[in-house]
Amino acid sequence: MRHLQPVGSSERIESMDVLRGFAVLGILAMNVGAFSMPAAAYFNPSVYGDLGGLNGWVWRLTHLLADLKFMAIFAMLFGAGIVLMWQRAEERSRPSTGLHYRRMFWLILFGLLHAHLLWYGDILYWYGMTGLLVYLLRKRSPAALIVIAVLFFAVSSSLMIFSGLSMDQWPPEERADMIEQLNPSDAAKADEIAAYRGSWLEQMEPRREHAIEMETSTYLAWAIWRVGGLMLLGMALFKLGVLSAARSRSFYLGLVGLAVLVGLPLVGYGMQRNIASGWPTPEFFFLGTQYNYWGSVLVALGWIGAVMLLCQQSVAMITGRLAAVGRMAFTNYIMQTVICTTVFYGHGFGLFGSMERVGQFAVVVGVWIFQLIVSPIWLRHFRYGPLEWLWRSLVYLEVQPFRQHAD
């Protein structure tokens, strides 16, 4: 194992760190709604909170620009990281399979702890479980990876469409249960609000229920295919040099154009369609979400193009801070949970269910500023974020150096 060590700072691909930092900040713009309001409001914004005026614009813009987009970038980078680690092990003529599966094991465990002890909306479990599968495809060509990725996307999309078109055949009790989940009664919303405004133990039951659903039915029917497809796409993009800012300016402008001309109109059409129809449940959940399901991938590619263009310009004041956030992405992701649950849950300030969307976005901006300031300062003194250090020490089976010094 002494020949397999985490990469030093001089070996890192800065553009990927910048993109990772951009993604971990952006993902909070959507997660904040799940931290601060009843769970159904994430999918059906009409069930809770004001959608008029500035609050409505906050929701519309975050749906267009953030919902599923930053999670997509994060998953693509995860897939790219799998290929990168495998390639570097191959260059050293060292086996990487055991290292990879230890890495996924600890990520799955961290995800389970995160979901059941802090916040049910964890994605680390999804990434770890899916990473076990997509690793088997790491040697495929970029073209093959892209084709398989599209097939993965199509599986969960087809399952959702089939469910939506077959609703008339559902047993009445199952349809009623789905409607209650997507458009809960006032009493159910009041119970959820009371639980999350309560103590940590009082939050445990709804958190556990949501976490188990995310880790079982949601994962098997949706996440494994969506996340797996994104990881495979990320593998392809890495092999094509897209994520290392190595492609031409016109190439990245083309990605931005694809997002602006195709992705955003597709997402926007689906959004307006759901608004105009009044969010009919459960039809919108299965059918109305398909526009964003596919359009979000194109918008995510546009974001990647924009960030790679920024990296090519070498705007150190921006890219340096984003790269620092990205090098500490694991720590910053969990830190967002700690901050937001402290703000909204009962063991902290207990603001769950009482803050409008404008206020929620103000919290997001505050966290962004904090992490953009603190991450570079931390990395002046330490090699890794604290959770990155712990994860690497567990994976490499030896305590890693923590304090910063020259590589």
pLDDT in tens, 283-302: 899 999 999 999 999 999 99
Distance from the Cα of residue 156 to its chain's centroid: 17
Distance CA 67, CA 329 (A): 19
**What is the 3-state composition of the chain as percent helix, strand, coil, each rounded to the nearest 5?**
75, 0, 25
Predicted confidence at residue 4, as pLDDT, reads 55
Average pLDDT value for residue range 251-266: 98
The answer to whether residues 306 and 251 touch, using CB atoms and an 8 Å cutoff, is no
Note the pTM of the prediction, 2 decimals.
0.94
Predicted pLDDT at 282? 84
Q: What is the pLDDT of residue 406?
A: 46
Which pLDDT score is estimated for 376? Answer: 97
- Residue with token string 């609050």: 55
Q: Which two tokens stand for residue 317?
A: 């004041």
At 62 the pLDDT is 97
**What's the pLDDT at 6?**
59
Please provide residue 403's backbone torsions phi and psi, each rounded to the nearest 5 degrees: -75, 150
Backbone phi, then psi, for 98, in 5-degree steps? -60, -40
